[in-house]
Amino acid sequence: MLSKRMVGLCKSNRVRSAIQLYVSMEVAGVDPTPHACNSLISSLCRNGSVDKALKVFDKMKERRRTTCHTYSLVLKEIARVRGFDFTMEMFADWEGEEMVRRRFDAVVYNTMMSICGEVNRWVETERMWRSLNPELAFKAYIEMVKSGMIPTENTAQAVVGACTKEGKWELALSVYESMLGFELKPNEVIYNALINSLGKAGEVRSAFKLFDCMRSSGYTPNAYTWNALIVALNREKRYGDALRLFNSVEKQMNLHLYNSALVSCQKLGLWDRSLQLLWKMEVSRLSVSTASYNLAISTCEAARKPRIALEVYERMVHKNCIPDTFTYMSLIRACIWGSLLSEALELLDGMCLQGKVVMAKKLYSRMRESGMKADGKTRAMMLQNLTKH
């Protein structure tokens, strides 16, 4: 009842009476409702009593009675009276408090971003968009549109980036469609981010549809675009199509494109094509990674070419590229299939010497199950490491 009376006093602009009622409730140990306190803060700010309004806000915050509306209200009023820098500093302090940050909703962020926009502080605006989780970024974007604000290209790009970063391609696509509704022209970054996100999600048709829109908008696809499309085709198990697309754009190659093509080769068991790509990478002086060699070795394993897999491994070591657990796993599996006992034992010894004992034990057990017998040196090394682990 007292809270309702306070709201009524604030609506009729009887600020002095409202603050007296608030004080008397405090003395009596009665907590006004958040709605009543919000009304009082708004009324005090309208009448120029910002310091008193902040005292009421601090009390609410101390008692964890603040709402999203409270923060949005205080931000607007402080920005109007104290200016952008003071407001930004206060907001940053709030964000640093986990309990406070959890109470923020899309409206709070949208309020702060609107304040940034009013003084053309777009760097801060974009930072906030990117810091939000995808759902909250999307909600803030929708709130902004509902309030009648027309998003800028930078804003839309930041929201798309926040959504695609977490794989929320549906939200990102909705932002893209809203841009078209506002007659905004999506830029190359937005197209690439969307195509990449759709490709990873296996939405191949949508990815290629956007690719067509990108080209019709006058943008030239780059290596990032082509890689996103090849990844999309691989996700849909269209490995042959992925390789054909790779072959058509081979002049724009980078490490990611080669690796995506190596994945296609692996799935199709094209060990000879896989080696061709690997040699081309070396000749083009790209920094060939362990992952690239692993893909080629794995392709040789799948194609039942253990000796060629070992040759790739030797070349890898010669190029000072450090093998990892996946390298050894693939090689030893290939050796087991090809009954290359001495080579498998040599690899096991190398794993133990490098401290990869747990994986070596698993592969050693697999060797024994397949009927391959270790020599005395390897048995001794494995027993020694078994006692340590």
The predicted model gives 172-194 an average pLDDT of 89
Contacts 24+ apart (CB under 8 A), 240-243: 240/264, 240/268, 243/268, 243/270, 243/273
Q: Which domains does the chain have, with CATH numbers?
A: 1-82 (1.25.40.10)
pLDDT score of 359: 58
More confident residue, 9 or 266: 266
pLDDT score of 216: 93
Whether 206 shows a pLDDT value over 80: the answer reads yes
Whether 209 shows a pLDDT value over 80: the answer reads yes
Whether 367 shows a pLDDT value over 70: the answer reads no
User: Distance from CA of residue 232 to its chain's centroid?
Assistant: 18
Which residue, chain included where needed, has tokens 């700010």? 45
pLDDT digits (tens, 9 = 90+) for 94-106: 878 877 777 777 7
Mean pLDDT, the chain, whole residue set: 81
* Residue 174 backbone dihedrals phi, psi, to 5 degrees: -65, -40
Burial of 57 (0-12, 13-18, 19+ CB in 10 A): buried
pLDDT score of 381: 47
More confident residue, 191 or 22: 191
Greatest extent of the chain over all pairs of C-alpha atoms, in Å: 96
pLDDT score of 358: 56
pLDDT score of 389: 44
Are the beta carbons of 248 and 275 closer than 8 angstroms?
no
More confident residue, 383 or 53: 53
Whether 158 shows a pLDDT value over 60: the answer reads yes
Residue % of the chain over a pLDDT of 90: 27
140: number of Cβ within 10 Å: 27
The predicted model gives 113-139 an average pLDDT of 71
pLDDT digits (tens, 9 = 90+) for 278-317: 999 988 878 889 999 999 999 998 999 999 999 999 999 8
- Return the exposure string of 173-195: e unless at least 16 CB atoms fall within 10 Å of the residue's CB, then b: bbbbebbeeeebebbbebbbbbb
The predicted model gives 26-32 an average pLDDT of 79
pLDDT score of 377: 46
Give 382's pLDDT tier (boundaries 50, 70, 90). Answer: very low
Q: Determine which of 12-21, 123-132, 256-265 has the lowest per-residue pLDDT on average.
A: 123-132
Q: What is the pTM of this model?
A: 0.67
Whether 19 shows a pLDDT value over 70: the answer reads yes
Q: Which of 224-233, 248-257, 373-382 has the highest mean pLDDT?
A: 224-233
Give 262's pLDDT tier (boundaries 50, 70, 90). Answer: very high
The predicted model gives 342-354 an average pLDDT of 67
Q: Which of 39-43, 109-113, 376-380 has the highest mean pLDDT?
A: 39-43
Q: Determine which of 13-27, 61-75, 117-131 has the lowest per-residue pLDDT on average.
A: 117-131
Give 386's pLDDT tier (boundaries 50, 70, 90). Answer: very low
